[in-house]
A = this chain, B = another copy of it.
Amino acid sequence: MFKSLLLKFVKSLRNDSHYCCSQVPNVLHVLQSQNVGEKIEVKGWVKSLRKQKENVFVDISDGSTGKKLQVLVPQKLFPAGITAGASITAEGILSLSPRGQIELSAENIKIVGKCVLDSYPFAPRKQYQPEYIRQYLHLRPRTNTFSSILRVRSSAVLAIHKYLNSEGYTNVHTPVLTSNDCEGAGEVFKAIPDDINLLKTMVKDKVPLEEAFFDTKTFLSVSGQLHLEAAAHALSKVYTFGPTFRAENSRTRFHLSEFYMLEAEIAFLDNIQDLIMIIEKLIKHVTKSLLDASDNDLKFCHGENKLDLTWINKNFPILTYDEAVAIIKKRSKQFKAEFDDKVGISKEHEIFLVNYCGGIPTFIINWPKSIKPFYMRECENDSTRVASLDLLAPGVGEIVGGSLRENDYNKLKEKLPNSNAQLNWYLDLRKYGGVPTGGFGLGFERYLLLLLGINNIKDVIPFPRWPHNCSL
């Protein structure tokens, strides 16, 4: 008895549903369709409105495209209370404006939600500085520029996944919570349950209370590289693309406390030129596909006609670290600080070097071993240098770091930062069918700065976190 009742109920629910989301076209579809004469309903937000004698012209957006749909509303149908920022539904017939643009001649228009203009921080058609807009992170997606950025960012994510998949990479989610501190740089956040009573119920003998949840100190990952290497020793080509963290008090326009990194690791890779080609091909391919997919939004971010990504058709120059330093030292007078071998190449130097190489992204290879992490492999003909690379981008500086990894068990064992057992598993990879591997990490937000011509990294991530700032 129960079952037949159930099935009847299920059936009636399904027949009643009208599936609004698939029926209502979005603004992008409407503008692309050009179906003059069609009767449609659209839903969106009022970006601006102009009242004329008989009609009101309402520009609406639903975020599906940066372009607005103009809705022509006869004065007598125009409800009181519709202002910029309000959400509406409009029903009517698609027609062509005198200028040949598709527009909606509304027969019915309704307010969904009013906008309290007194306290709304963005006035229609007004330009604001990014620093001002950043004070309202929860409303920022409503601005034209930031909604363009969000769409491009989303397209870039998809383009990266699709490209790496087509190249035979497996996406391996490396963990955020880790008991390793990858590069041993110490600039890490630790994670602790907020509930001290929970910790008390879990604590074991000889374990500090703070570490009772996992029985070990636990950090937020600064890199998934070591974990990726484990996967590369079985799947050959792997990548991870997720959030990474730095507890650094860096307040430049290139630093975030939480940022996205694309990291890839490739087995049987044993020379730096191959790694260079892999990175160059990735960046060019993804950028080209975005020029197709996100053309309007890219142009909007750069300012019409200013989009200059000509580097995608050029070979990326390659300098050795020593060559780069020689070039810097020859021009030492133009820099704020003198070149210091212990500090290495600064942001100022990076941007200079790219300009020197014609404004094309430039690889710097073969870095001094002394300033690079323990896992990098020495150059074959110079044990003071490691087979590593940075890729510097115009106006941004470093966007990629990569290297070959030390794959000799004994050499790696000597180099391990601490003698405890914490990284024995990493050493193990070289003990059981070890292979040469190499890989890289691309700072996703820095790549977006390059792609979008945006000045500050806080403006290419939906919810930026930096020192003294973690709102929402």
Set of chain B residues within 8 Å of A139, measured between Cβ atoms: 230, 428, 432
Tell me the bound Cα distance from A273 to B11 in angstroms.
12
Tell me the bound Cα distance from A80 to B3 in angstroms.
67
Set of chain B residues within 8 Å of A226, measured between Cβ atoms: 472
* Distance to closest chain B CB from A454 (angstroms): 16
Set of chain B residues within 8 Å of A175, measured between Cβ atoms: 243, 258, 462-463, 465, 472
Interface assignment of A79: CB less than 8 Å from any CB of chain B = no
Known contacts A268-B43, A269-B21, A426-B138; decide if A190 and B188 are in contact (CB<8 Å). no
* Distance to closest chain B CB from A323 (angstroms): 7
| B430 & A2 in contact (Cβ 8 Å cutoff) | no
Set of chain B residues within 8 Å of A89, measured between Cβ atoms: 268
Set of chain B residues within 8 Å of A115, measured between Cβ atoms: 431-433
Tell me the bound Cα distance from A320 to B9 in angstroms.
9
Known contacts A10-B318, A234-B45, A234-B142; decide if A179 and B19 are in contact (CB<8 Å). no
Q: Tell me how many chains of this kind the complex includes.
A: 2
Closest-by-CB residue of B relative to A281 is B22
Instruction: Please give the number of chain A residues whose Cβ is less than 8 angstroms from any Cβ of chain B in the complex.
Output: 146
Render A68-83 as a binary contact track against B, CB cut-off 8 A, 1 for contact. Answer: 0000000000000000
Contacting residue for A315 out of B14, B157, B319, B436, CB 8 A: B14
* Distance to closest chain B CB from A460 (angstroms): 11
Interface assignment of A266: CB less than 8 Å from any CB of chain B = yes
| A235 & B435 in contact (Cβ 8 Å cutoff) | no
Contacting residue for A234 out of B141, B260, B276, CB 8 A: B141
| A194 & B198 in contact (Cβ 8 Å cutoff) | no
Known contacts A19-B277, A173-B260, A214-B470; decide if A87 and B434 are in contact (CB<8 Å). yes
Set of chain B residues within 8 Å of A237, measured between Cβ atoms: 21, 63-64
Render A239-274 as a binary contact track against B, CB cut-off 8 A, 1 for contact. Answer: 000110101010000000110100000111111011
- Interface set of A (CB-CB < 8 Å, partner B): 2-3, 6-7, 9-10, 13-14, 16-22, 24, 26, 28, 43-46, 62-64, 85-87, 89, 112-116, 119-120, 137-139, 141-142, 147, 150-151, 153-155, 157-158, 161-162, 165, 168, 170-180, 186-195, 198, 201-202, 204, 213-216, 218-220, 226-227, 230-231, 233-237, 242-243, 245, 247, 249, 257-258, 260, 266-271, 273-274, 276-278, 315, 317-320, 323, 326-327, 330, 356-357, 407, 425-426, 428-436, 461-463, 465, 467-472
Q: A116-B432, A214-B469 are known contacts; what are 9 more A-B pairs with Cβ within 8 Å?
A: A6-B317, A89-B268, A113-B432, A173-B461, A173-B462, A187-B195, A198-B247, A214-B468, A425-B472
